[in-house]
Chain A
Amino acid sequence: MTDETTVREDLRRRAADFLAAHDPAATEPLAFLRARYDAGLAWVNFPEGHGGLGLPRALQPEVDRLFARAGAPGNNVRGNGIGLGMAAPTILAFGTEEQKKRFLRPLWTGEEIWCQLFSEPGAGSDLAGLATRAVRDGDTWVVDGQKVWTSHAHNARFAILVARTNPDVPKHQGLTYFLCDMADPGVEVRPLRQITGEAEFNEVFLTGVRIPDSYRLGAEGDGWRVANATLNNERVAIGSGGGTPRGGGMVGVVSDTWRERPERRTPELHDRLLKLWVEAEVARVTGQRLGQKLRQGQPGPEGSAMKLTFARLNQQLSGLEVELLGEDGLRYSDWTMVRPDGVDFTGRDAGYRYLRAKGNSIEGGTSEILRNIVAERVLGLPPEHRVDKHVPWKELDK
Chain B
Amino acid sequence: MSELDLLYTDVEDDLRASVRALLADRCGAPGVTALYDGDRSIVSGLWKALAADLGLAGLLVPEEHGGAGASAREAAVVLEELGRSVAPVPFLTSSVVATALLLETGAAGAALLAGLAAGERTAALAVPLSAAPQDAPRTTVRAEGGRLTGTVTSVAGALEADVLLVPARAGETVALYAVPAAEAVRTPVVSLDMTRQLADLAFDTASGEPLLTDAAPAIGRALLTGAALLASEQAGLAQWCLHATVAYLKERKQFGRVVGGYQALKHRLADLFTDVESAGAAARQAAAALAAGDPDAELAAVVAQAYCGDLAVRAAEEAVQLHGGIGMTWEHPAHLYLKRAKADQIALGTPAAHRARLAVLADLPPAP
Q: Is the CB of B364 within 8 A of A277?
A: yes
A93 in the interface (beta carbon within 8 A): no
A371 within 8 A of B: yes
Tell me how far the C-beta of A38 lies from the nearest C-beta in chain B, rounded to whole angstroms: 34
| Nearest residue, chain B, Cβ from A375 | B266
Interchain nearest-CB distance for A238 vs B (Å) = 15
- B285 near A285 with CB under 8 A, answer yes
How long is the Cα–Cα vector from A375 to B303 in the complex, in angstroms?
A: 27
Query: Separation in Å of the B318 CB from the closest CB of chain A?
Result: 13
- Measured as residues with beta carbon below 8 angstroms from the partner, the interface class of chain B is 35 or more
**B269 is an interface residue with CB less than 8 A from chain A:** yes
The answer, yes or no, to whether A326 is at the interface (CB within 8 Å) is: no
Contact of B281 among A255, A273, A286 (CB under 8 A): A286
State which of B249, B274, B352 has its C-beta within 8 Å of the C-beta of A308.
Answer: B274
A277-B362 in contact given A267-B367, A292-B6 (Cβ < 8 Å): yes
Chain B residues lying within 8 Å of A140, measured Cβ to Cβ, are: none
Establish whether residues A270 and B366, one from each chain, have CB atoms under 8 Å apart when the complex forms. Answer: yes
Q: Tell me if B260 and A382 are in contact (CB < 8 A).
A: yes
Partner of A266, one of B307, B362, B367: B367
User: Given A277-B362, A282-B281, A289-B6: A271 and B266 within 8 A (CB)?
Assistant: no
Number of A-B residue pairs, CB cutoff 8 Å, is 133
Determine if A371 and B307 form an interchain contact, defined as CB atoms under 8 angstroms apart. no
Q: Which one of A50-58, A71-79, A184-192, A257-265 is at the B interface?
A: A257-265
Among B271, B278, B368, contact of A286 (Cβ-Cβ < 8 Å) = B278
A371 contacts B6, C-beta separation under 8 Å: no
Q: Which of B266, B273, B365, B366 contacts A305 (CB 8 A)?
A: B273
Q: Is the CB of A265 within 8 A of B303?
A: no
Q: Does A293 contact B (CB under 8 A)?
A: yes
The answer to whether B7 touches A379 (Cβ under 8 A) is no
Give the one of B7, B263, B265, B266 with max A CB within 10 A. Answer: B266
For residue A234, give the distance in angstroms from its CB to the closest CB of chain B.
Answer: 19
**A259 and B363 contacting across the interface, CB-CB below 8 Å:** yes
Is A309 an interface residue, CB under 8 A from the partner? yes
Pairwise interchain contact A375-B3, C-beta atoms closer than 8 A: no
B267 interfacial by beta-carbon distance below 8 Å: yes
Given A288-B3, A296-B7, A381-B249, are A368 and B267 also a contact pair (CB < 8 Å)?
yes
Q: Which of B6, B269, B303 contacts A288 (CB 8 A)?
A: B6
Q: Is the CB of A286 within 8 A of B277?
A: yes
Interface flag for B34 (CB, 8 Å): no
B4-28 residues with Cβ-Cβ distance < 8 A to A are 5-7
Q: Indicate if the CB atoms of A281 and B274 lie closer than 8 Å.
A: no
> How large, as a class, is the contact surface on chain A?
35 or more
B274 touches A375 (CB 8 A): no
| A62: min CB distance to chain B, Å | 15
- A380–B250 CB distance below 8 A: yes
Q: Which residues of A have CB within 8 Å of B306?
A: 274-275, 278
- Answer yes or no: A220 CB below 8 A from chain B CBs: no
- Residues from chain B with Cβ under 8 Å of A258 in the complex: 364
Q: Are A308 and B271 neighbours in the complex by a CB distance under 8 Å?
A: yes
Docked CA distance A370–B273 (Å): 12
- Is A384 on the interface with B (CB-CB < 8 A)? yes
Q: Which A residues are in CB contact (< 8 Å) with B285?
A: 285
* A267 close to B364 (CB less than 8 A): no
Give the shortest distance, in Å, between A372 (CB) and chain B (any CB): 7
CB atoms of A305 and B274 under 8 A apart:
yes
Kindly list chain B residues whose C-beta atoms are within 8 Å of the C-beta of A262: 365, 367-368
Q: Which residue of B lies closest to A290 (CB)?
A: B281
Give Cα A375–Cα B267 distance, bound, in whole angstroms.
7
Asked if B73 is at the interface (CB within 8 A of a chain A CB), the reply is no
Are B281 and A285 neighbours in the complex by a CB distance under 8 Å?
Answer: yes
Digitize A290-324: 1 where CB-to-B-CB distance is under 8 Å, 0 elsewhere: 00110010100010010011000000000000000
Q: Is B146 an interface residue (CB 8 A)?
A: no
- Across the interface, which residues of B come within 8 angstroms of A273, CB to CB? 364
Partner of B364, one of A263, A270, A285, A308: A270
Task: Tell me the complex Cα distance, A165–B274, Å.
Answer: 38
User: Is A374 positioned at the interface, with any CB of B under 8 Å from its CB?
Assistant: yes
A249 proximal to B (CB < 8 A): no
Cβ < 8 Å to A, chain B residues 107-124: none
- Does chain A have a CB within 8 A of B358? yes
Closest to A245 in B: B1
Asked, given contacts A305-B274, A368-B267, whether A381 binds B307 with beta carbons under 8 Å apart, the answer is no
- Which residue of chain A has the shortest Cβ distance to B274 in the bound complex? A305
Rounded to whole Å, the gap between the CB of B217 and the closest CB of chain A is 25
In the complex the two chains form, what is the Cα distance from A167 to B265 in whole Å? 35
Q: Is A24 an interface residue (CB 8 A)?
A: no
Within the complex, the shortest CB–CB distance from B150 to chain A, in Å, comes to 35
> Nearest Cβ distance between residue A167 and chain B, in whole angstroms?
29
**Candidates A281, A292, A382; contact of B261 at CB < 8 Å:** A382
Q: How far is the CA of A374 from the CA of B367 in the complex (A)?
A: 40
A288 to B362, CA, bound (A): 20
Chain B positions near chain A (C-beta within 8 angstroms) = 1, 3, 5-7, 246, 249-250, 257-258, 260-261, 263, 265-267, 269-271, 273-274, 277-282, 284-285, 303-304, 306-307, 352, 355-356, 358-359, 362-368
Beyond contacts A259-B364, A286-B277: 10 other A-B pairs, Cβ-Cβ < 8 A, are: A262-B365, A267-B366, A270-B364, A278-B303, A282-B307, A283-B278, A292-B7, A308-B270, A309-B278, A378-B273
Q: Pick 8 A–B contacts, CB within 8 A, sort by A.
A: A259-B365, A265-B366, A281-B303, A282-B279, A289-B7, A308-B270, A380-B246, A381-B250
List residues of chain A with CB under 8 Å of any chain B CB: 246-247, 255, 258-259, 262-263, 265-267, 269-271, 273-275, 277-279, 281-283, 285-286, 288-289, 292-293, 296, 298, 302, 305, 308-309, 368, 370-372, 374-376, 378-384
What 5 pairs across the A-B complex have the smallest Cβ distances? A382-B261, A375-B266, A265-B367, A374-B270, A371-B270
